[in-house]
Amino acid sequence: MIFITIIIALAIEILVNHPQRMRNMSWLMTYRNWVVKLFGKSTSWNGAIGVLGVVAIPLVILKIIQSTSTFSDLMYGFFGILLGVLVLIYCLRYRAMYQLVDELSVDSKNAITQMQLKTLAQELLGETQVSKDPNRTLTEQVIIQANERLFAVIFWFVIFGPMGALMYRMAWYLKDNPLSLPDSHSAGADTTDEAEDNFNSAAVKLYAILSWIPARLTAFAYALAGGFEDAFGSWKEPGFSEEYNIIQSNHSILKGTGLGALRLSRYETGVVQSEDDEGQEPQSIVEIEAVKAAGALVLRSLLMWSALLAIIVLTVWSSS
């Protein structure tokens, strides 16, 4: 049932132009602020316990619905599949990136292409003006963000069902929307600011931990779907230390293997950047085709994931 649910949800996500407002998660911000205000006087709620408390209640409600025998058995499990599809579509955020990359023109001198690049930059980075080499930056972001927009959501759905997908999506949302209470500048603001910092730090850590395994599975899929030797040659796993940053580690591995799998040098021109920033070496300019190639790499990796999941499901089914 999990495999069928994922295939249906992915087909809708890629092929159907559904309104993005269906994925509005502003309710989580309102609910989070209410919970933090309610228990904010307790210092134990300022960090990890507070984040887990915010995430836990929606997950418990979803789990109760998911495990209700009447709901699961109704119409031979149809409503169970429907719940999974709806939750998975709600938690994915891949279509916007996929559509923008798919429609991107390769004529870099065309005004329409420049507008498309700005729209893609706005979607991936939240701003239209990026670095001196925007194609390189956007290529890296397509490779990195495919994990959180697509692969990590599917991974946790496979592990815990709809509850797993929602868990990851909420952690992702809390990371992208830090807590900022309206009374943070009133008397006792230092205490409030500390509570906000602790809560936001715990939310970022939860997101990073939940992304750790999917990031490495996605990197492995990039290697299989592209240049295997170059991808693994670019696998950069930083050593564990007090300064170990999980998010930077995840991004470093995804970017290294993804660009290696693409063999990025094929898309570099002989033009180099001017060395304006002291200490930085000039780099070759990346052509716009690299952005589209990154989108194609993500799709091939998705097929790898789907094929592997199908093999696992068939093996389990045949042995039962």
Q: What is the pLDDT of residues 125-154, one digit of tens each?
A: 988 777 778 889 999 999 999 999 999 999
CB 42 within 8 A of CB 137: no
CA angle 126, 127, 128 (to 5 degrees): 135
Convert the pLDDT of each residue in 174-232 to its tens digit: 999 888 765 544 445 555 566 677 888 999 999 999 999 999 999 999 999 888 788 87
Q: Give mean pLDDT, residues 69-95.
A: 79
Is 226 in a helix, a strand, or coil?
coil
Distance separating alpha carbons of residues 222 and 207, to the nearest angstrom: 22
pLDDT at 185: 47
Domain boundaries, the chain: 2-181+191-270+282-319
- Comparing 33-42, 50-59, 152-161, 275-284, the range with the smallest average pLDDT is 275-284
Q: Give residue 226's Cα distance to chain centre.
A: 21
Q: How many CB atoms lie within 10 A of CB 185?
A: 9
Is it the case that residue 89 has pLDDT exceeding 90?
yes
CB 215 within 8 A of CB 148: no
Is it the case that residue 49 has pLDDT exceeding 90?
no
Q: What Rg value do the Cα atoms of the chain yield, rounded?
A: 21
Is 236 in a helix, a strand, or coil?
coil
Average pLDDT along the chain:
83
Distance separating alpha carbons of residues 265 and 261, to the nearest angstrom: 11
Higher pLDDT, 183 or 257: 257
Q: Which residue has the tokens 């045949």?
A: 318
Residue 33: closest CA among 273, 196, 245: 196
Q: Which residue has the tokens 């418990």?
A: 60
Phi-psi region of 177 (alpha: psi -120 to 50; beta: other; left: phi over 0): beta
pLDDT at 212: 95
Distance separating alpha carbons of residues 280 and 31, to the nearest angstrom: 45
Residue 223 Cα distances to 61, 219, 229, 320, angstroms? 39, 6, 8, 33
